[in-house]
Structure formats: structure tokens, C-alpha cells
Structure 1
Amino acid sequence: MRSEVEPSRGDAWEAGGKRKSPFPPPPPPSPSWVIPPHTHPARPIPAPRLDSAGREAVGAGAPARQESQPGGSTHLGTPPAARRCVGGAGSPGQLRDAAKRFSRGGVSHYLTLTLDEAEALLYVGAREAVFALATGTVELKAAVRSRRWGAPQGWDSNPISGAPQELSGFTLDQVAFEDGKGKCPYDPTKGHTGLIVDGELYSATFNNFLGTEPVILRNLGPHYSMKTEYLTSWLNEPHFVASAYVQESAASSTGDDDKVYFFFSERAVEYDCYAEQVVARVARVCKGDVGGARTLQKKWTTFLKARLVCSAPEQQLHFNRLQAVFTLPGADWQDTAFFGVFQARWGDVDVSAICRYHILEVKKAFEGPYKEYREQAQKWGRYSDEVPSPRPGACITDWHRQNGFASSLELPDNTLNFAKKHPLMDEPILPHRGRPLLLKKDANFTQLVVDRVPGLDGTVYEVLFIGTGDGWVHKALNLGAHIHLVEELQVFEPAQPVESLVLAGRKKLLFAGSRFQVAQLPLADCSRYQSCTDCVLARDPYCAWSRNTSLCVHAEGLNGSQLVQDVLSSDTRACTLPQVAKQGPITPKNVTVVAGTDLVLTCRLGSNLARALWTFEGRALAAEQALVLRDARLRALVVPGAGAQHSGTYRCFSEEQGARVSGEAYQVTVLAGAGLPLETRAPLESLGLVWVVAVCLGALCLVLALAVLSLWRRLREELGKGAKAIESTLVYPIELPKEPPSPRFAPSAASDSDEKLWDPASYYYSDGSLKIVPGHASACRNGIPVAAAAAAAVAVSPPSGIPGQPLHSPTRIHLGPLRGSSSNGYIRLALGADERPPCADLAEELRRKLQQRQALPDSNPEESSV
């Protein structure tokens, strides 16, 4: 049994050495990793939804008889809806028994599937779990023998950080511990592949933690450990997809060696373009390669690679992203075929394609000319000089042994140096017939398996099972010139990509793995076809109609004389049934409409290849008949503006390959003048809607106008306040009135109040400045300016003659009106030059202060400063 182990080395780690997983933790491990059966019963497919007529609703899986366009590719237009159930579809119970599922709580990523048909076991590698499922029941099989995974003190060292990893809960059969470097990637999301041949592991992965050293490695065997050179001309950022082992030494007349093929995509180095061109490749190494003696020591001397071409020239589509590869072996190694799944972008649309390659075409490319890099021209081209002998990259054959080269260690240096510098072949490998076998728009093909099925006519047919990114499996039949889609089944719901597919040929089972579960499906469910016509028109090579039992049965192992099957032409004339399938009478459905209403009558077709035939009162409706339309998308008959002449019985037939099956029947009654036609009522209803919209728009405009008006008024007020603030400072010159000379002050006995008036500390600042007390007189009195009014007041009521005291209130100047003006004003007191007060020293002091100080903004409107 060949197996491969793909442990995950990219996990996060918690403190203390325990691994930290981004997924929910699984339940505690049991003493054995193999659990007794019936612990987790398989979950069946949910019962399909049925409509009122008892038909299965869309999405439950259905025969999808589709033909591709001549030449091997389907049309790039909108594909027909194939996920429909035909008449006579299996009952919910049959669908429930058709598939089984397995999953376990806390476990995800059921991606690695390895089948052991001899033991009837399916080994499933999941995230931090391994399961052994019994095929047929998809249940965990009880362990016959198991042994604990022994390790010193129950701990093992993590190869990344050296942190201890607990292993006491795991058990496994007797194995040897090996370093995982070069056998599996540090990051499980990196593309990798591998297989075991005669006890030796051939793996294609990355050799370092950063993923910058791609390597194709051989180890774990009696031969020397071999690997590729770290050169971009050998491997340049590859994405490994698959590997295959072909025993080309079997019955070889030249004594050729077995070969291992690796399929991957990588950045091309041979194209002169600025973009990073990605191409699909196939590389080859020989099983008996042991490296060179001096050059290429412990390196592959037979490593060669060539480009895989998959393109549709008429659509200018080139598929360079390789998604999956399946190797279909034949009775002889020369019958081996490779099926590749490719993806590309056509504008903004995803397109998937399947290309088929024959082993002889691959062998021819590796025996062709080499490609080399020309230093002078700075570009790649075909090597045109003489090729060294023995031929570089060739396996050791009888010719080599006869000429003294028993192994690669004895090859000359010129051959090895040439092989090191020229790993790329010049000629690409073209697909079968030069074009894709299947091409589909708006599809994301993920996986592929192929089975060879012998038909009753003696032809061996290739049946393809294609997994998609939304959880469907397409079953297609390769008829050589074109592809026939038999059916489409939704395996995983809700939609999740089909990550892996494994075919069990003996039990005719298909296993599909996804992130959250494993599903088991039969390769064919013939019981779904309940009539000879449906069974033959399905063109399923697994199924045939039995005349003895009148059932559609599996054809393998039965007497072919009593079976009816026609895969190539789907001719139903061999059926014992008449052209119109036997079925009970169909009761017409009563349909009553008003005159002037569009009449739409649907028709249920047997498959996507069938066409609808309509009859009216027993007479066929011609396709060009006036006022009758056929909508292919709706699969319906449309009568616009039905009138009284359209009343009657309508019948629909599903016709395919000359066979007719009754579909629907309608009894139509048209009522004349019973009400307004639909075209008359619709404008009135729409007019009311227009009025509602108009009123709403008017109210919205009114609200917006009011809001704009309010904002405009507020803005105007703010602008008015700002204008006051920016006006220039106004200065009002005021001349103090002349004061008559007063008698010199002589201190005398006075009251306490008089002494307070003469207190110097109350009328002088600390720097000796005179305090000027604001007055309360109006700025203008009877049209006379303030200065004049103040002078008159002084003349009429002279002060008491006490120098240095504030003026009496009758002669005080009122500054309130001035402060109420729009200016930020101050009063400048000017002393007359002719008459001066007796206090000369005080006047000089005041004049000096006035000259030194400048008019400043008044921070406190209740005070005046000089």
C-alpha cells in the first residue's frame, strides 16, 4: 500500500510548548486513534424538496444531459441549467441511501484521502487527526492491532522551536521517526506532492521555513538521497500539484527505466515580457538516477521539464494555472493518460478547462530539442549546436550499458554540465486533439478523477468526475469528439469546495473530501431512471435497461442480450416501449385569464438536450405561428394579449432523439371583458406612485428652503457683529476747562470726611499717575458737543478750588454714550497751552505720560487709562 503523510508544520505555539490551533479543539483523544464502528453514524444526504407536482426541486442533484460543442469544448455563453431533476427521479429514500457522510466534532480539513482497496479502508488525514473508514459504510473501523507511539517520557521535540509536544494520547502502528524536512512543507498551504515507490519517497516541496528553496527530493530508500539544484532555471517559484509513477521499463525493448513525473506551475524565465508569466510544467526524473561522480553529486542528472499547453485558440484563451492532475493508467504504460484541470480569466469571468495528454506525447517532448539562454542576444531560444553523447537527461538504457555507462555515476562531465544548464525542453506538450477536452464558463473546477468503463458495444469509455468550488460533482462522458455531461450532484451543502477525490474501482464508489466532512457516493445511481427512454437517453455506461425486470440496472456482470444501452447515439428504438412513454393519463390544469393578459405556460423537459413540442386542440403549434412565442430560458410558451381565440387545451411534449414524453397539459379559459387588461391598470397604479413621489419631493424642497433661509439670517447677524469689531479706534479730543486760581491750601481743622477727600493715596496710582474717574454726563446735550458742554458746566459751577481732587459731579464728563457707540474709543485729555493750572508739576507729569503712552484696546470698558 502506498501512502503519504502530510503533517502540518505551520501551527502557532502557546507558551509552555503546547500547540495553539486556530480551529476548535478536538475532544480528548481516546487510548487508540482507531474508534469502534457506529460511534459516529454517517449523515445521509438530506431529502430533496418536492414541488406541488411531486417533482424534485432544483439543487438536489439531477441528470444533466449536456453536450459540448463540436471540437471538444462547450460554448462560452450561459451554460444550460443542468441541476434539474427529470421525470422519474428517485424517491427521497433512494437519494438518502445513495450517499453517506462522515465528520467528527472539533476536526476539520478532511483533505488527504488514501484508499486501500485490499483492506477496504479509506485513510483520512485531517487537521490533527487521522481516521480509518470502512468503505461502503464510511464508519470508523475497529483496530485489529495498535501500538502506542512510544517516545521518551511521553514527549517529543518540535522541529521548529524545540518546544515539547505531548504524544501520550496518540497510538500508531510500529513506525520509525524521520526528519520531516524536504518531505512535507512547513506551511501546509504551500503546494506539495509526493509518492512512495519501492520504499522510496519522492516528494516535491520546499526545503526551508521561508518557502524560498523548492526541491524535488528522494529519500527513505536504499539509493542515495537525491535533489534538484537551487537554480531558477530548474525551479522558479513553483506550485506543486501532483506526481505520477509510470513503469516504462515493463516490456521495454530498449531496457528503459521507470520514471516519476511531477506537475506544477511556475514563473516562466524563457519569455521576453515584463509581466510575471506563469506557465504549467511537467518534470521528469528517472528511478535509477544516483547523481554524478564530480558534477551534480547527489543531484538529479535526469531532471528535465517541459511546458504543458492548454488553450482555446478561437477564444484566445490560454490556461496557465494548473489546479489538479489525474493519472489514468492503462493495460500498458503506453496507454497512460494525464488529465489536467486548468483555470484562467476571460475578462471578468472565471473559466475552467480540462485537457488530456497522452504519455507518448510527453515522451516525445523530452526526447526533442533543448532550450538555452543566449548571453549575447539576452533571450531564450532553441539549442542548435551539437548535443553531447550520451544524451543529457536520458535514463540509463541498454545502449548506455553496452557503451560502458552502467549508471549515472559513470557519465562524462560534458554531459552532466549540459544537463545542469539545459533542463528546459524547447517543444511544448499539446493536449489531445490540440484543444481542451471540456471548457466551461463561470465554473471553478478543483479536482478530477477518471474511470474506464466498458460498454455493451465493447468500447471502453472514459467517465470523468469533476469537483467544483461550490460543492458539486460533474459526471461527464468522453466521447472523443465531444463531452457529454451525464449529471451534476451537489455533494456538500452549504457550498464548500471539493478539495479531494478518490475513486474506488472495485466497489464503484467515489469519495470526496472537504474542509468539514467526507462524503461517499456511488459512481452511478441507475435506479433514478424509471423508464427505458430515460435510461438510454442518459448515455451512462454504468447503466442499462433490463428487459426482464423493466428496470434501469448496473450493466456490469449481467447478460448483455437482455440489456438495452446505446452510449454513442442514444437510440431509443431498441426499447420495447412505444415512442410515447407509458404513463398514466395527465389531467389538464385549469387556467383562467382575463382578455388582454399575457399567457405563460411552462413545460417540464426530460433533460437539457430535450426540446419542447406544443399542441393546441391536438394540432401542433408551428414555431412561426403569429402571436405565439417560445422562451428558451423559461422553457415556456408565451401568448401575449390572450383573447377568446386562445381558449382551449394545450399539451407539451419533451422530445429527445425521436422519443417523446408527455410533460404538461393545460385547459385555458379566456374571459372577455370581465375586467381591465393588465396593460390598462398598470399605468394607473404607476401614476399614483408618481404623485406620491412628487409630494415627497416637494416637502423635501420646502424643508431645504427653510433651512437655507435660517442659515442665511444667522450668517448675516454674525457678519454684522464682525463689522463692529473691526472698525478703527476713534479718538475724541477733549479740552479741560480753565480753572480759576484757587487759594493755596492751608491745612486746618476739618472733619474726618474732608481729610478722606484729601487722602493722596486715594487719587494717585503707585507710579504717581493721576486717577481719572469716569463721569456720567451725556455725550451730547441739546446739540452741544460734550467738550463745550463740559466747559460751560465748569464756568457756571467752578470747583471748590481744592487742587488734585476729582471734579464735582456737575462738571464730570459722562462716558457711557461714548462707550455705547460703534467705536472702540478712548478720551484724550488735552491741556490748553494758554492757561495752565497752578499745579505746573502735575501738568507736566500728565503731559509726559500722554506722550509716552499709546492708545491701546480697552480690555475693561468700565475703566479709562492714560
Structure 2
Amino acid sequence: MAVALVLLLVAIAMDAVGTDATLPLHAHSSFPFNSPDRPLVRFSLPDTHNFSTLLLSDDHDTLYVGARDAVLSLNVSAGDVLTLKKKVSWRPTDSDVDVCRSKGKNATMECGNFVGVLQHLNASHVYACGSFAFNPRDAFLDADTLAMTRLPAARGRCPFSPWQRSAALVADGELFTAVMADFKGVTPLIARHFSKGGRPDVSQELSPILLEEADFVGSALDAAQRKVLFFFNEVAKEFNVRDEQHVARVASVCQDDVGGVQILQKKWTSLVKTTLRCLPPFAVLRDIVALPPPPEDGESAHTLFYAIFSSQWSLRPESAVCAFRLASLREAFAGPYRHFDAHTHLWSPLQAKSSDFGQCGLEGASHSKLEEVKRTFLTDGHVDPEQSRPLLVSTRHRYSRVAVMSVRAADGWSYQLLFLLTENGILHKVFLSLRGPRVIEEIAVLERGDHVTALALSASKGVAFVGSWGGVTAVPVARCSAHPSCGRCLLARDPLCGWSRSRKLCARLDQEPGQEECICGGGCQ
């Protein structure tokens, strides 16, 4: 019965979004691993594994890599050329491993130091945090030399388990994290660390209703409103149903929150959350990335978040991709809200809006107002995607990572290119045209048996970097020369490629000024 219901919901979903949002069965071009027509650059070291975290420098000339028992910096100034600059070893002692193993953990798979967090702390240092044999440790790294300054404790800054995801970002030198903060991996915590100006570090009340079995996915900064956003999945309790229903959420906290005076001391007074809704049954958030508006726009509310969703129940490899506008998130956080009754354990909508929930500057609020804040943190509404439907639905692939870039095509319009990556290393480059999504390329970027761990995109270098268990792979965002004729160049409909009249080949639009969309057999030849 459950499988039939899922299939029915998928069928309804397909009908709702229309065939224009459903990916075709085959990409325009498909390249197997190590295809000479789509060469890749691979970096690996014989004694280093689990390249799980990628961080680009501000100038995109250096790629910092968090691996098992090490942090590396790679020179990527040439884009698709990867060379080792520095490597620092950061491994637990034999005693640390023995303690980890005595607690029932696998010495090989779990008791190393899996570096899961890398963030730019300031212009000169990078912050790093690793699982360190199920006893998290963190450090400051010199951005040039990787010289390490180790810190005394790191609980609540990265997970104990190397298999749990977390979210982290640095804003104004302060670290904001969302992580499972205990050995068993059952206590979710959103917190601020390294607080400046004499302010205390803050975290949330450890109430089971605040974050229900949370699974953290990503984070973002709403700089204009001085708020930090955390994206995660959790079990929805507001529906009062017997079965556990997982939903995607986004939580918001104020950067400058210092907690209350009488109650909520050193606790968030601004933490609120709302629901992201893509398309039933695609309710589980897998990955999310932000695309800011172009500089000439200047309005941060136009920032778009591109998110991958999968189904909680489906046994098939399928995914949906939805886009959410920052303005829509802000609107949802404006209310109305639901109120939690501690006696009945039920949620009920508030009859009137309030300006208090999710607002900054409540440190001086009264005891009664903060008591209300403690019980009112879930919005009554939800956030719908742009155009109220997914950008695309795939019934053949379960995507795990997403990256996006905006490009200006030969027709003068700006379009978005999505890079969607499966866990086993199949990369789809998807052109979001006005006619609907189109898979321009399908590229196998990993060897069989390898496993995707991270994806980072440098639009300025024109390269996507894929982290995996075995290394880092550089994938140029376009290989226009793979289209050998004018006709095939134009039929690819790749907004990064155009036919060069002078060189008589398919070339990058941003590297060859003489290309234009034209009719083959005429001026193109």
C-alpha cells in the first residue's frame, strides 16, 4: 500500500510540473570515465584518503581540502591543474584511537580525524574542525603555510561521527555552527562561537521540540538583515500523526543575539524555523546552494537557493530540484506562527501576528515575552519554490550535491547552469532555459567504487571540483571542442559555447569574442 501511494504521488507530481520540468532519459552528450573527449584532472596522494571538505580561497587560486588525518592546500590558479602546495598532518594518537575503539567504534572507518569543517576565519587564517577519533578537535591554520594552532576543545563545532553532516559559517569573525553535539549523535545544537565584543557565546535550549531529530545540510548568511540561516531536515510533529514525517526546514538566528536576562540566558531569543516545500513526495533536503543576484541588481532579497530533494519513502533513485528566493524566506519568517502547548503537546496557530518572533534585539525583553518566545518558534506557513513548482524532476537519479553558476549567452540573456552530482560520481550539467531544463552533458567523474563527498564550483576559473574518498577531481565546466562541427556546436545548446568564425571551431564564449549563434552553412563556415 505504501509503495503504491508513493508511485501515485510521483505520478501526480509529474503531471503537476509538466513534461518540461522532467529530465529527458538521455543527455545530449555522455562521457564515460577518462573519456579523451572530456578529460579530467585528478589529484590524489597514496597515504591520504576521504577528501571530504573543500574550500576555495577568495581569489579562487587555492583549494583547501579537509581529508582524513590531514589538511591540504592545492594550487588551482590554472583552473584545471591541481598541484599540492602544503599538507599538514593532523591525526589522533594511538591512545586516542584505542579509546575510540574501546567505545565500540571501528578503528579504520571511524577512529581517524575526519576534517568536516573548513571556513575562512579572516584574511590570514582558516578554521578547521575534525572528528578526531570521536572526540572533536579544532584549530586555526595559517592560510599560506598551514601552520596549525590547536584549540583546547571543539564540542558543538563539528560532529563526533565522520558520517554526520553539519553546517558552519563565519560572519564578522564569529563562528556559527549547526551540529550533533554529543557522542551518540542525537543532540542537535545551533550555536555561536568566538563571540566578539565581550558578548557570550550562545546556543539554543536543549528542548526536544525545538529541533526534532535534525539532520543538518547547509548554511547561509543574510547579511542585509544580519541573520544566519541553517538548512536541515527533521521529523515534523505539528501534524500530530503517528508515522514519522520528515520535512525540510530553514532556521534563522540573529548574528548579534546575546540571549535574555532573566531567562534564555546565553540562549537564542531569535531562533525561528519554517518549512521548505518542493513537491510531494520530495520532502527530504539533500543539498542546497545560494546564487546571489548580479552586482548591478544589488538587492540581496533576490538571492536564490537551489536545493535537491529526495523522497522519504521511495526505493527508486529519483530527485527533484527546487529554487527558493530569499525574499520568500523572509516573508515566511514574518509570520504567522504556531504555538506549542506544553500541557497537551499540540501545536495551534496563533490568531494574530506578532513582531517579536524571530526578531533581533530582544535581550532586554520581559520574562513573559521571552516565555512566549520559547514556545513560539515554528511558522504556521511554509515556503513555496519559485513559480510554485520544481525546476526539474529526475526519475532516474538520486542527486547528492548541487552547484550553480549564472552565464550570459550569445543572445545577451543570463541563464543558470546547474551541476548535479550523484553519490557514485555521475555529473549532470543542466541548462535552465526558458523552454525547460536540458541535460547538456552527463560525465562520469569518478572511478567505480569511489564515493562523492563534496562539490565546489569556481565560476571564475570555469572548473567544478569534486571531492571523494580517493581524491579531488577537476571538471572544466565546458569542453566546447567536443562538438567538432558548427551544427553540433549549436545543437548542444550550451550557453558557454559558440561557433568561432575565425578559428572554425566550437569555443568558449568568454574566451573567444568572435562567436555568435548563426545558421550553419552560411556565415559560420
Aligned to 2:265: 297
Conserved 8 A contact 2:341-2:375:
no
Q: Provide the C-alpha distance between the structure 2 equivalents of 1:375 and 1:290, rounded to a whole number of angstroms.
A: 25
Q: Does 1:393 align with 2:347?
A: no
Q: Provide the C-alpha distance between the structure 2 equivalents of 1:371 and 1:518, rounded to a whole number of angstroms.
A: 45
Q: Provide the C-alpha distance between the structure 1 equivalents of 2:301 and 2:35, rounded to a whole number of angstroms.
A: 45
**Counterpart among 233, 236, 241 of residue 273 in structure 1:** 241
Q: Provide the C-alpha distance between the structure 2 equivalents of 1:533 and 1:302, rounded to a whole number of angstroms.
A: 57
Q: Provide the C-alpha distance between the structure 2 equivalents of 1:320 and 1:335, rounded to a whole number of angstroms.
A: 24
Conserved 8 A contact 2:357-2:377:
no
Q: Provide the C-alpha distance between the structure 2 equivalents of 1:156 and 1:225, rounded to a whole number of angstroms.
A: 33
Aligned to 1:535: 489
Q: How large is the RMSD of aligned CA atoms in angstroms? A: 3.2
Please report how far the alpha carbon of residue 506 of structure 1 lies from its aligned counterpart in structure 2 after TM superposition. 1.6
Alignment of 1:744-763 (within 5 A): none
Q: Does 1:99 align with 2:3?
A: no
**Counterpart among 442, 445, 448 of residue 488 in structure 1:** 442
Aligned to 2:466: 512
Q: Provide the C-alpha distance between the structure 1 equivalents of 2:521 and 2:291, rounded to a whole number of angstroms.
A: 38
Alignment of 1:302-701 (within 5 A): 302-311=270-279, 317-330=280-293, 331=295, 332=298, 333-344=300-311, 348-374=315-341, 379-385=346-352, 387=354, 391-395=356-360, 407-480=361-434, 482-556=436-510, 558-559=512-513, 562-565=514-517, 574-577=518-521
Deviations 1:451-476 (A, max 9, x none): 01112222111100000123110000
More contact order relative to length (CA 8 Å, sep ≥ 6): 2
In structure 2, do the counterparts of structure 1 residues 174 and 496 end up closer, same or farther at CA, with 3 Å as the change threshold?
closer
Q: Provide the C-alpha distance between the structure 1 equivalents of 2:205 and 2:483, rounded to a whole number of angstroms.
A: 57
Please report how far the alpha carbon of residue 510 of structure 1 lies from its aligned counterpart in structure 2 after TM superposition. 0.8
Conserved 8 A contact 1:233-1:423:
no
In structure 2, do the counterparts of structure 1 residues 296 and 347 end up closer, same or farther at CA, with 3 Å as the change threshold?
closer
Please report how far the alpha carbon of residue 575 of structure 1 lies from its aligned counterpart in structure 2 after TM superposition. 2.4
Q: Provide the C-alpha distance between the structure 1 equivalents of 2:60 and 2:19, rounded to a whole number of angstroms.
A: 42
**Pair member with larger Rg:** 1
Please report how far the alpha carbon of residue 289 of structure 1 lies from its aligned counterpart in structure 2 after TM superposition. 1.1
Using the aligned pairs only, state the percent identity.
Answer: 32
Q: Provide the C-alpha distance between the structure 2 equivalents of 1:176 and 1:141, rounded to a whole number of angstroms.
A: 21
Alignment of 1:18-417 (within 5 A): 70=18, 72-74=20-22, 80-82=25-27, 93=36, 95=38, 98-118=39-59, 120-135=61-76, 136=79, 137-141=81-85, 172-222=146-196, 223-248=199-224, 257-311=225-279, 317-330=280-293, 331=295, 332=298, 333-344=300-311, 348-374=315-341, 379-385=346-352, 387=354, 391-395=356-360, 407-417=361-371
Stretches (4+) displaced over 6 A? 154-157, 375-378
Deviations 1:572-619 (A, max 9, x none): xx224169x99xxxxxxxxxxxxxxxxxxxxxxxxxxxxxxxxxxxxx
Q: Provide the C-alpha distance between the structure 1 equivalents of 2:445 and 2:273, rounded to a whole number of angstroms.
A: 37
Q: Provide the C-alpha distance between the structure 1 equivalents of 2:470 and 2:409, rounded to a whole number of angstroms.
A: 36
In structure 2, do the counterparts of structure 1 residues 550 and 259 end up closer, same or farther at CA, with 3 Å as the change threshold?
same
Deviations 1:329-360 (A, max 9, x none): 12331221111111116754232111100001
In structure 2, do the counterparts of structure 1 residues 347 and 265 end up closer, same or farther at CA, with 3 Å as the change threshold?
closer
TM-score by length of 2: 0.80
Q: Say which is worse superposed, 375-384 or 212-221, in terms of deviation.
A: 375-384
The one-letter code matched in structure 1 to 2:379 is: M
Unaligned runs of 5+ in 2: 1-15, 103-131
Conserved 8 A contact 1:117-1:506:
no
TM-score by length of 1: 0.50
Aligned to 1:664: none
Conserved 8 A contact 2:30-2:442:
no
In structure 2, do the counterparts of structure 1 residues 122 and 354 end up closer, same or farther at CA, with 3 Å as the change threshold?
same
Please report how far the alpha carbon of residue 552 of structure 1 lies from its aligned counterpart in structure 2 after TM superposition. 0.9
Conserved 8 A contact 2:498-2:507:
yes
Q: Provide the C-alpha distance between the structure 2 equivalents of 1:423 and 1:160, rounded to a whole number of angstroms.
A: 43
Q: Provide the C-alpha distance between the structure 1 equivalents of 2:250 and 2:310, rounded to a whole number of angstroms.
A: 17
Conserved 8 A contact 1:345-1:351:
no
Please report how far the alpha carbon of residue 197 of structure 1 lies from its aligned counterpart in structure 2 after TM superposition. 1.3
SS class of match (2:301): helix
Deviations 1:439-490 (A, max 9, x none): 0113110100000111222211110000012311000011255211111111
Q: Provide the C-alpha distance between the structure 1 equivalents of 2:244 and 2:86, rounded to a whole number of angstroms.
A: 52
Considering fraction of residues, name the structure with more helix: 1
Please report how far the alpha carbon of residue 495 of structure 1 lies from its aligned counterpart in structure 2 after TM superposition. 4.9
Considering fraction of residues, name the structure with more strand: 2
The one-letter code matched in structure 2 to 1:531 is: S
Please report how far the alpha carbon of residue 288 of structure 1 lies from its aligned counterpart in structure 2 after TM superposition. 1.4
Conserved 8 A contact 2:337-2:353:
no
Deviations 1:805-852 (A, max 9, x none): xxxxxxxxxxxxxxxxxxxxxxxxxxxxxxxxxxxxxxxxxxxxxxxx
Please report how far the alpha carbon of residue 328 of structure 1 lies from its aligned counterpart in structure 2 after TM superposition. 1.2
Conserved 8 A contact 1:286-1:302:
yes
SS class of match (1:296): coil
Deviations 1:633-679 (A, max 9, x none): xxxxxxxxxxxxxxxxxxxxxxxxxxxxxxxxxxxxxxxxxxxxxxx
SS class of match (1:409): coil
